[in-house]
Amino acid sequence: MDPLEARARAVLSPVLGHYTWMPVDRAEGSWLFTRDGRRILDLTCGIAVTPVGHAHPKVVAAVVEQVRRFSHLSIGVAVYEPYVALAEELARIAPAGLDTVMFGNSGAEAVEAAVKLARQSTGREAVLVFRGGFHGRTFGAASLTTSKAAYRRGYGAMLPEVYVAPFPYPLACRVGGPHDGEACAAHCLEELELMLEHEVPPEHVAAILIEPVLGEGGYAAAPASFLQALRALADRIGALLIFDEVQTGLGRTGAWFAAQRLGVTPDVIATAKALGGGLPLGGVLAPRRLHEGWRTSTHGSTFGGNPVSCASGLATIQVLREEGLVERAELLGALMVEELAPLRAHPRVREIRRLGAMVAVEFDDKAVNKDAIAKSLEQNVLLLSCGAHDQVTRFIPPLNIAEEDLRAGVRAFVVAARAVEAVRA
């Protein structure tokens, strides 16, 4: 055991789950360097946080320059350039009309703030969410999260007035027989209408909250037709449509936001992860009219929109634009699927799917998936699992990763998955 791991195990709470205990010393671009001399290809981006890779020179320079100026001033105390400049930049790249932002520190905070905005602006309480969604681990966010029951275990009563509808995920659907996303979406919409007849009156619904692509729930994208139907439903019943774009935002899907890629504009977007370019930052984007109805001082944050985090986020957006990385996401996604093609014949692979540079390989068993990921790490390629049963491998490469590195990393995974098949055959 590495000494750093031993020290960590002695002082860190066991409540923290760990994918690995690698003793990372530094990181650069798409690579992690460990204390024991390993060079590991990072296809996780810190769980979708570093879209321009680790220690990008322009991001580092922006962070250092801001720290030299000052590292903290709460926006409620004084106004400062990075906060305003990042808000202006988000208004430029967000779907039309979502022109006003409130910053927090994380995805969970952004989601909870979005729900508070919806409840206050509609005067209603109920929130419709979708099975498999992950929205965070604070009490409010965990109440909205259904990717795994484990996230609620032992905590007792959660936020009331939360109603769970099925997400159009064909491989997880209980409808008999094989069917595609459109058929699954139609079934899910029927179930949603039944919920509004039998479980919650439409006039009680403040918000419909959904991840356009399930994150922790399995990297499964909702059909655009389903999201369009939710847009129409929200309009019909007077609720707000909220997109949780914590994992999908900032270029990951081949557009600045998945809303733009899928052609559906929500009332509110909750964003985080890549927004800070490696530093803690979250945000709630909505039209000015909604923000103006959010009563002053009924929400706030001491650290939200920290100047260093905002400087990092602003530099990250500039790199994404200057290097054409939003458009490159589509190329990277196609490349990964091309290299994964040999696994379509793998007897334990159920599906290979993607939206932009969000790519998933779903196995029929958690153990097979875990073994494939572990054997990939033996070949110095880092990947993460997701899905309700940890049965999915997700690929989240930096959007500026070298093509040859990405091909080599995906090929290593293919070799690993085949090795697992041979062992278990």
Distance CA 371, CA 388 (A): 17
Terminal Cα distance for the chain, rounded: 32
CA angle at 278 for the pair 240 and 71, rounded to the nearest 5°: 100
Listed in order, strand segments (DSSP E) in 43-186 are 100-104, 126-130, 162-165
Residue 247 is predicted with a pLDDT of 97
φ, ψ of residue 304 in degrees (nearest 5)? -60, 130
The two three-digit tokens of residue 399, written as one number = 């959007």
Residue 176 is predicted with a pLDDT of 65
Task: Provide the sign of the torsion angle of the four alpha carbons 410, 415, 418, 419, taken in this order.
Answer: negative
Neighbouring-strand partners of residue 284: 102, 270
Distance CA 231, CA 397 (A): 31
pLDDT (tens, 9 = 90+) of the chain, 425 residues, equals: 889 999 999 999 999 999 999 999 999 999 999 999 999 999 999 999 999 999 999 999 999 999 999 999 999 999 999 999 999 999 999 999 999 999 999 999 999 999 999 999 999 999 999 999 999 999 999 999 999 999 999 999 999 999 999 999 999 887 766 778 898 999 999 999 999 999 999 999 999 999 999 999 999 999 999 999 999 999 999 999 999 999 999 999 999 999 999 999 999 999 999 999 999 999 999 999 999 999 999 999 999 999 999 999 999 999 999 999 999 999 999 999 999 999 999 999 999 999 999 999 999 999 999 999 999 999 999 999 999 999 999 999 999 999 999 999 999 999 999 999 766 65
CA angle at 410 for the pair 25 and 43, rounded to the nearest 5°: 35
Residue 174 is predicted with a pLDDT of 76
Task: Provide the sign of the torsion angle of the four alpha carbons 243, 130, 392, 385, taken in this order.
Answer: positive
Return all residues near 113 (Cβ < 8 A) that are at least 6 apart. Answer: 102, 104, 270, 284, 299
Residue 1 is predicted with a pLDDT of 86
The alpha carbons of the chain give a radius of gyration, in whole angstroms, of 21
φ, ψ of residue 48 in degrees (nearest 5)? 70, 30
- Is there a contact between 348 and 416 (Cβ–Cβ < 8 Å)? no
Return all residues near 282 (Cβ < 8 A) that are at least 6 apart. Answer: 103, 104, 105, 106, 107, 108, 109, 110, 246, 270, 271, 272, 275, 276, 304
Residue 425 is predicted with a pLDDT of 53
Full-model pTM: 0.96
CB-based contacts of 72-78 (< 8 A; 24+ apart in sequence): 72/303, 72/306, 72/307, 72/308, 73/307, 74/301, 74/302, 74/303, 75/103, 75/304, 75/305, 76/300, 76/302
Distance CA 310, CA 299 (A): 19
Residue 34's SS3 state is strand
CA-wise closest residue to 89 among 309, 315, 409 = 315
Helices 307-322 and 81-93 pack at an angle, to 10 degrees, of 40
Distance CA 123, CA 53 (A): 42
